[in-house]
Structure 1
């Protein structure tokens, strides 16, 4: 069988879905079901408009927080901590033993450490002198 490899800037959503479906199938066969369940804490203004929030999922006994965004005007009010508490409580109710998250934001890193997360790794030397930090918290 001849294999054609090319380098492109990206793939269509359908092509990415094709690969993701096969990867998930492979992972279930290799590691068992993930029991993945989505989880979100939307942040809405008084008119009901989405202005921020937390998204993630539970799977394989852990909560992964994929995004957490608070608009600048609302920062410093404890909203991020409250969102994390809500997501962690739901994850714990689902049987999760902990949570993990990553960030490039020094202020967010400080918040996560204050919330009981511990650093489990980092990638330093990103363009602009930035770094990514991965954190975990066991319940």
Structure 2
């Protein structure tokens, strides 16, 4: 089979899902079935509108927090720390041994360190002089 590669600005609707499904099938065949379960701590205003929160999942013994956002006017009240603690408590209940997260935000980095996360890697020299940092937190037995 002669394969022609072509660089594009993206793929057609549905094509990314095809690639993702093939990766998932490969991973299950290679590493076994995942126990991935979604986890969220939504943050609502007084009118019931979603204004922030935590989104992630547990899987293969770890909690991954993919999104964590607190609106500017609510920062400094400990909401992010409380959301992390809630997600971590649920992760422990699900049998997880730890949690991981990544950030480009220096304020968030300080918060995660304060919450017991330690750096496991970083990518420096992103545009604008920024960097992204990955952190982990091992749960004590």
TM range (shorter): over 0.9
Alignment of 1:76-87 (within 5 A): 76-87=76-87
Deviations along 1:16-52, one digit per CA (max 9) or x if unpaired, are 1101111001001111112110111000001110000
Matching of residue 50 in structure 1 with residue 50 in structure 2:
yes
Deviation at 1:12, TM superposition (A): 3.3
Q: Distance in 2 between matches of 1:108 and 1:23?
A: 31
TM value normalised by structure 1: 0.98
Name the residue aligned to 1:137: 137
Name the residue aligned to 1:6: 6
Task: Kindly report structure 1 stretches of 4+ aligned residues shifted beyond 3 Å.
Answer: none
Q: Distance in 1 between matches of 2:64 and 2:4?
A: 35
Name the residue aligned to 1:94: 94
Q: Distance in 1 between matches of 2:74 and 2:23?
A: 39
Q: Distance in 1 between matches of 2:92 and 2:12?
A: 36
> How many aligned positions are there?
139
Deviation at 1:13, TM superposition (A): 4.0
Name the residue aligned to 2:21: 21
Q: Distance in 2 between matches of 1:13 and 1:112?
A: 36
Structure 1 runs not aligned, ≥5 long: none
